[in-house]
Structure 1
Amino acid sequence: MARATAEAVARRSYGKLVALLAMRTRDVAAAEDALADAFAAALADWPARGCPANPEAWLMTVARRRAIDGARHRHTGDEVANQLLILADEIDAHEAGALPDQRLALLFACTHPALEPAIRTPLMLQVVLGLDAKTIASAFLLSPAAISKRLVRAKHKIRAAGIPFSVPGRDELPGRLAAVLEAVYAAYAEGWTDPLGDDVERRDLADEALFLAQLLAELMPDEPETLGLLALMLYAHARRAARRDAAGDYVPLSAQNPASWNAPLLDAADALLTRASTFHAIGRFQLEAALQSAHVHRCRTGRANWDEVVQLYDALFSITASPVVAVNRALALAERDGPQAALDTLAPYADDPRLAEYQPYWAARADLLARAGATFEALAAYDLAIGLERDPAARRFLQRRRSELARAAPI
């Protein structure tokens, strides 16, 4: 009977159990080995003690412990990831306490005060959320080599100094919140870029990040930045489907039909942003959400509000000093004051290495140069933007823009 039960579970659930275990270990082969050990243990244990009430849960628990034992005894591999794997098992064995979700607990565990603030978010993105160095580097306008070196140095410090990973108590959460919010948003932004919505991994990443943001807002409802982050993500999520037409071609915000946006999500975002404003403590994510709200309002009403948008970008730039914000501010400034004013404000960034491979910068520059009548410079900028664009639909959109400009250019 016990053997028959084990065989039935193996036929029905083997793939699911391997997938769940591999999500933790990031190692399919190790997951398969651990699960094989668990089935062997079941064949030895169940005939003597009887089948457990939940055979799948029993097998998953044993397999996870086998995987952790393997991580403890391996002399190679990512020791930080192994430590977090062990912590994940402890969270499963004992409730997460102040934190209602294992992933959220692990994110906060990566914010130990002994770690430099600049490395906390990249560490979370790699070892908890599973992003690779190239993707993380893109989010921080760094080269993959540079971000890899930072991560290696951080992990060496963790190992050499014996920095422990543990789930912080509720009273420690506010001081550790900023890096967690940044990681959740970076993960969402990466998942949101899925061109057609058919990349399961990206879609899952966006959904998971949105779920984590909702948990944060519920866990810390008096922290205005958690409310601002969730509002920002809901504004984006509400119009995600409108970014492609029926043929799968890219549709810019200015050409989207507001009637196709998800109105309940927009209403929820408005309510969150309004509640965040009552705390009178402005932060980055509230400002970014306010910008999205302003864009939504303009598109829905048809009334220009570029002065308000530029003012919001000014406030956001005063907090972040980010070249990405400077690029987006320039596009808004072009709508208010013309393309040359926008190009003038971008001039200090002409040789900024952070923007050398930042595709939106070159796409924005191409558009501004074309509108200013600098056709040949615009064509060169379009070439760079097209070469850097990962999304086939957006690439086709830029190629069409370039072709239209080239046809209109004087011979």
Structure 2
Amino acid sequence: MSELTNKKTIYPILFAISAAHLMNDALQAVIPASYPILREALGLSYTQLGIITFVLFFSSSVMQPFVGMYTDARPSPKLLPIGMGIAGAGMLGLAFSPQYALVLLSVLMVGIASAMYHPEGARIAFLAAGPRRGLAQSIFQVGGNAGSALAPLMTAFIFFPYGQKGAIWFTGVAALGVAIQVWVSRWYRGYLDRMPLRKKEIKVRELDPRKRKQILFAITLVVLIVFARSWYGAGLSNYFVFYLIERFDITVPQSQMYIFLYMGAGIAGTFFGGPLADRFGRKNVILFSVLGAAPFAMLLPIASEVWCYILLFILGLINHSSFSVTVVYVQELVPGKVGTVSGLITGLAFGMGALGAVGLGGLIDLTDLTFVIVATSFLPLLGMMGFLLPSDRKVKTLTETSSV
């Protein structure tokens, strides 16, 4: 099935869906932001924190490809406000959960809400893009990254002074998100009524087996590269604050400023990654975002307080530069599957990164925090797999006569 798109870019919808993306990912970011408080209030181990991360990313990310496949066949505008409402209920539960099991249930609700949002959000950005799909993807993804970047500020200014009950403030964010999503979903429903999905008029020719294998191999490589990128990012976001606190004897709010700088730089990296890919090629930017981060990542564990700020800023810029590029790269490999591709790259691969976060938490408990932080600094070297990716020109030759 193919989707009819507008002939011009609809900026109000793009900014609205980006704002909704910010709120969705901000609610998701509340979970890791609360780790220092939950660890103290409930006496949690690093392994238990890793399990929370796994539940969050499994429910929010691993489920996304399946939601994407469903919505590719049956677009569902109502999923948007319903999902935000579920996230709001999860925030309420997190604020008042007295036990670890109830915390996990609240986290599960937030994750499911995120899985419901992302494939349809990506499709709306695609439909509202008109001829400027690269710009639309940047606007949409920057909203999500900005929401994630709020996590350190939440820890410093909400959870540190107010404790676990600080999560109740975010029910208001969810309520505002529901209002925005209702408006967007009405536009989406009207769009579908005016310009419904239709079958392709031109009969699609099957790819020969050799091309199909090359495409599947390339998709697998991209998923693994995104996994390596997200695994490193998960280790940095979830555990590096504890390393900073132990090594430099700083407070929780002070440690969060380091991570905020990393994530803030990531917003700029995400925005500029698209134009850089247009100029230098998608494969080159993907390689740069992982391998280019490697030397700075390896210097980070031995850096001084001041140099940690500088290195984290550089890492944020580089590591996030391929955030939207990987999505576009796979969209070009698998044309016409917006929801599935969004779920696969921003969902499944990030969920695999959550598996790594669980392993890192367990490894910290078994060994030493410093050892694990140093070991994770070598993860960006896994980006060498990117040399095996087809060039941008090759991708066009693989899909120019038909689609998967």
TM > 0.5: no
TM-score (norm 1): 0.26
TM-score (norm 2): 0.27
Larger radius of gyration: 1
Question: Greater helix share, 1 or 2?
Answer: 2
